[in-house]
A and B are shown apart, each in its own frame.
Chain A
Amino acid sequence: MSARKVKDNVEIYLSLLIGLVVMTFSFLIPDVFWSSANFQSIASQMPVLGVLALAMAITMLTGGINLSIIATMNACGLVMAWVATHYPPSVGSMALVLLAGLTMAIVIGSVNGFLIAVVRVSPILATLGIMTLLNGINILISRGSAISNFPDYILTINSTNLLGIPVPLLVFLAVVAVIWVILEKSAFGRTIYLIGSNEQATHYSGINTRKTIVWVYILSSMLCVVAALLMMSKLNSAKASYGESYLLVSILAAVLGGINPDGGFGKVFGMVMALILLQMLESGLNILGVSSYITMALWGGLLLAFIFLKGINLSRLFGR
């Protein structure tokens, strides 16, 4: 398929939808929607979901999926929480917290990657199994209760503003930038797209597809560490059952952002737009006093509408 053929106008539709949402809310609730409180609420909601959606998206680009992201986030969160609450705050213990989280992520990512790339279990099944296993281990080691009361160096992530911008949002933007560079500017990123388009052809052209897939799942798990840190900082606790509702929402956000679930196509930019759209909608409806269940249904409806729109051939519609 040529690049022209697969151009599916994701950015155009997302801009239209965002425009529609902004206009509707500006008309209905101009004072509240354009208030700094609203933007702060969006800024505090978006980072965790955003990072998780990216963790989902990079595996979807290879034609896979990672159902274990939430379990991974909680596993890394619990390990980091244990370290953080057992050692007095110092530069050394901060490093140890990060090291513990990253080690956990690399182990989990390697197991997922090994099952998918080497044993050739389908990604849905491999990550479903690992998800169940991790959920069990998380409950087992934490006895189902929360680890809380973290030292200041974790809590300040959530409470600090830099140049008037909340740090979690900056963290999210940094993650976006890193993933953008990896996907758009590196050979590794090229390989990810190639595997998603045609794994066999990529393999026969002499690229080590197994190694790439393993690294993709490790990268996905490492993003879960970032999500775990943001979550810990926001809630001041870690627990085996946090964020379960994010699993399907992160798939929804990735697909809405233009990631093709069969692999090969999708851009980071589209995903950021999708996340802004989802969070604006949630925040605006929340201000309007609309039930969060309606928001849940609307997100689902939005995804269907978006898929429907994407299927319409724009150029044919305008007779070009």
Chain B
Amino acid sequence: MVNKFGIKPHELFLGLTILVIGGYLSFASPDFMTFGNIYDLVNNYAMLTILACGLFIVLISGGIDISFPAMTIISQYVMVTLIQGTTGNFAIAFALSGGIGLLLGMVNAVLVNRLKVPSIIITISTLNIFYGLLLYLTKGVWLYSYPEWFEQGVMLFKFTATDGYDYGLSLQIITLIVVIALTGIIMNKTSIGRMIYAMGGNKEAASRMGFGIFKLQLFVYGYMGLMSGVAGVVQSATVLTVAPDSLLGYELTVLAAVVLGGTSIVGGRGTLLGTLLGVILLAVLQNGLNLLGISSYWHTVVTGLVIVISVSMTAWSQRKGQGV
């Protein structure tokens, strides 16, 4: 481990890449470096970032969870159904959605702990079960009707900028800041974070040192579930519809963002800063391609290339010191 405040080479490299791309974009497109564009970017990528924070912790623990898009939609669907026609506030929305997500995450934790097969297999099963039941019960019907307080959203420190639009701390941005701070504190400042790193580094050793592996797994998968629920509220506040099948396949996008940030898929290695940089790189790339007017057909190609190059460079630099 590099010291707590030090920047790792991989993060430095990511940061420089983002600076180079950002620098080029602000030169090539007059719209990129505007306050409005950056603001929209942060709002639009809030859900991805929140889910990435959850997945980051799961990966550090040596596990993986790909059932979270289903958890997000289920929490969101139930929450929106329950709050229809109520005079509530966002605390209720978060409690409902986060609670359901937490519960589903705990189901994953129990299965991963008891069945003792790789968590990717468990979460593929639960993804099928969660999605199957959701689509069956909802018959794929979209939800549009929201109570008024939900549609109004939240906006602190509102001001109108010279371009005529309103800016301020939106619900998405406030949630994003809270989630990042919470994840950072858990992983860097608490003993539970240390234990999660230790478990991901060597589960057997962590277990012999007396760490409760099951408790840690409950925490890790529960946190992923909670983040799914929270992301559900944020997504709902952004698009004001719930489409039961809208996030199919999204698990791989989030996974790509997290591993782009240098988090090891076998556990124990990775930083929150790296994860955030990974998300920013993906966001800036996609936004840039849009602004440059490059056909959307190219977006996936560029994203794929960036992932392949980045994971190759990480693997190549870590290759030394391995046996084979």
Chain B residues near A244 (CB-CB < 8 A): 249
Task: Let me know if B125 is at the binding interface, CB within 8 A.
Answer: yes
Say whether A293 contacts B133, CB under 8 Å: yes
Task: Let me know if A61 is at the binding interface, CB within 8 A.
Answer: no
Contact residues of A: prevailing secondary structure: helix
How distant is A144 from chain B, measured CB to nearest CB, in Å?
Answer: 7
Chain B residues near A291 (CB-CB < 8 A): 136
Task: Select one of A121, A139, A252, A295 contacting B312, CB under 8 A.
Answer: A121
Count A/B pairs, Cβ under 8 Å.
153
Task: Let me know if A283 is at the binding interface, CB within 8 A.
Answer: no
B interface residues with partner A (beta carbon < 8 Å):
64, 111, 115-118, 120-122, 124-129, 131-136, 249, 252, 255-256, 259, 265-266, 297-305, 307-308, 311-312, 314-316, 318-319, 322-324
Say whether A135 contacts B128, CB under 8 Å: no
Give the size range of A's interface with the partner. Answer: 35 or more
Q: How far is the CA of A125 from the CA of B111 in the complex (A)?
A: 24
Take A200-B324, A300-B129, A307-B115 as given contacts and tell me if A135 and B307 are in contact as well, using a CB distance cutoff of 8 Å.
no
Say whether B125 contacts A252, CB under 8 Å: yes
Task: Let me know if A170 is at the binding interface, CB within 8 A.
Answer: no
Say whether A261 contacts B300, CB under 8 Å: no
Question: What are some 14 contacts across the A-B interface (CB < 8 A)?
Answer: A119-B315, A120-B315, A120-B322, A124-B265, A128-B255, A129-B307, A132-B307, A133-B308, A136-B301, A136-B304, A139-B300, A255-B117, A296-B131, A308-B115
Residue of A nearest to B300 (CB): A136
Given A209-B324, A295-B132: 17 more A-B contacts, CB < 8 Å:
A119-B315, A120-B322, A121-B314, A122-B266, A122-B315, A124-B120, A131-B304, A132-B256, A133-B301, A133-B305, A136-B303, A199-B324, A252-B124, A261-B117, A299-B132, A300-B128, A307-B117
Task: Let me know if A294 is at the binding interface, CB within 8 A.
Answer: yes
Task: Let me know if A115 is at the binding interface, CB within 8 A.
Answer: yes
Q: How far is the CA of A273 from the CA of B252 in the complex (A)?
A: 30
Say whether B118 contacts A119, CB under 8 Å: no
Task: Select one of A115, A125, A294 contacting B132, CB under 8 A.
Answer: A294
Q: How far is the CA of A252 from the CA of B121 in the complex (A)?
A: 7
Residue from A121, A143, A144, A311 having most chain B Cβ neighbours under 10 A: A121
Against B, the Cβ 8 Å flags (1 = close, 0 = not) of A101-143 are 0000000000000010001111011101111111111011001
Q: How far is the CA of A135 from the CA of B252 in the complex (A)?
A: 13
Against B, the Cβ 8 Å flags (1 = close, 0 = not) of A153-195 are 0000000000000000000000000000000000000000000
Task: Let me know if A95 is at the binding interface, CB within 8 A.
Answer: no
